[in-house]
Amino acid sequence: MKIIFFTTAIFISSFCYAQKTSFTINKKFGVVIDRLDDFQRLVSVADLVDNTNEVGKYDLDIKIYNEKYGANISDNYLKVDYIKPTTNAIITSVWEVKLEEIAEKKIKVSVALLKVTPSGNTKIIKKVSSGKFENKLKYFLNNHTDLKIKGN
């Protein structure tokens, strides 16, 4: 009985896994919200924005649509392993970005990979963040320059 319970717990936790990272931005809360919204418009197509706003907290889901993956693409937001090798996969990913005001001009930014959806018959074994989404987001929130975003 214990083995069945343990195996079931591991199986369920593998589906609930969300890769998370966090960092701190030293800006005013409103400025970081505006920059996050600008970043979302740069990396995603116009879509319904799924966000939550409370005093001192802000959550936003960013959807990266139809990112091309294959053998020679190295600037993607994900590292993906396939069941069958492919040179032309299209993947949509959903990232959750949470802002929390820790102090005046000190914002904790948490980023989590929520969902990865391949198109067609592509079967994925493993998917993890390459770190590029988080790095571009951090750079953009700190600098808000005309960052060249892949695909735009």
Task: Please report whether residue 57 resides in a domain.
Answer: yes
What is residue 55's predicted lDDT score, i.e. its pLDDT?
83
Task: Please report whether residue 4 resides in a domain.
Answer: no
Q: How far is CA 88 from the centre of its chain?
A: 21
Task: Please report whether residue 7 resides in a domain.
Answer: no
Task: Please report whether residue 51 resides in a domain.
Answer: yes
What is residue 89's predicted lDDT score, i.e. its pLDDT?
84
Task: Please report whether residue 108 resides in a domain.
Answer: yes
| Domain of residue 60, residue span | 19-143
Residue 126, both tokens: 């493993």
Tell me, what CATH number does 90's domain have? 3.30.530
Task: Please report whether residue 148 resides in a domain.
Answer: no
In terms of pTM, does the model score above 0.85? Answer: no
Task: Please report whether residue 132 resides in a domain.
Answer: yes
pLDDT tens readout for residues 106-125: 999 999 999 999 888 788 88
Task: Please report whether residue 151 resides in a domain.
Answer: no
What is residue 15's predicted lDDT score, i.e. its pLDDT?
39
Q: What is the pLDDT along the chain (152 residues), one digit of tens a residue?
A: 544 433 333 333 333 345 789 999 999 999 999 999 899 888 887 565 566 777 889 999 999 988 888 765 677 898 888 887 777 888 999 999 999 999 999 999 999 999 999 888 788 888 899 999 999 999 999 987 655 554 44
Sign of CA dihedral 140, 144, 150, 151: positive
Interatomic CA distance for residues 117 and 98, integer angstroms: 21
Interatomic CA distance for residues 140 and 20, integer angstroms: 19
How many domains is the chain partitioned into structurally?
1
